[in-house]
Amino acid sequence: MSRYSIHREGGPSIAWISLLLILVGLIVLLSGTGLWMLWIAFAVCFVLWVAVVSFFRIPHRTYPDSDEFSILAPADGRVVDITEIEEPEYFKSVCTKISVFMSATNVHVNRYPVSGTVVYDCYHPGKFLVAWHEKSSVTNEHNTVVIRTANGTDVLVRQIAGAVARRIVSYAETGMQVEAIAELGFIKFGSRVDVFFPVGTRVCVAEGQKVRSGIDILAELS
């Protein structure tokens, strides 16, 4: 049975929603509308509180040993796109892209898919289109991180905000030495993570497949 803890990014959000729901409860209580209305308000507030807390949960998992050739899933979610497409920001050439969509029920921590050195890190403000929109990866708020593996292969990870997500958190800094499955960042309230790597790399997942960050292998470098 999985055990969970709450991510540090959740502290402010949980505190604010708790205060808001307490205030709503006090207003209903002082309004004198009756016990039945108080119970309804309590039930609604409790459901909302649980929903917000669940966004910031972290499962306690046992991660398998990774090797230098595996590109691991950077997020929990569903593979919604596998395609060869030009990556215009860093590679400026055609790459293989795998997109993992995080729904409201998924764990929202993002992890490094490979070990290596962070050679590029850039945040881009932008719009908040739905995460599956074809232009969301370049027009939405997003953060791009590139890790250079020990064999010299660059793997790009892009955190993309969506219609609900309103804050991308990244812990990456250029020059950092990072390990696969270590925390890359957090997208508050969901959205999408894209991974770009060289064409010809063997893909190990299929569209529609559910993946878990740090556990499931997206592709194998040659």
Active site residues: 191
Say whether 26 sits in a helix, a strand or coil: helix
CA 70 to chain centre: 19
Give the DSSP letter of residue 140: B
CA distance 69 to 77: 22
Q: Tokens at residue 75, please?
A: 């997020």
186 forms beta bridges with 109, 169
CA distance 101 to 115: 22
Q: Tokens at residue 110, please?
A: 């993002």
Per the listing, tokens 């509180």 go with: 49
CA distance 186 to 213: 12
Cα distances from 167 to residues 81, 161, 164, 192, in angstroms, run 23, 7, 9, 12
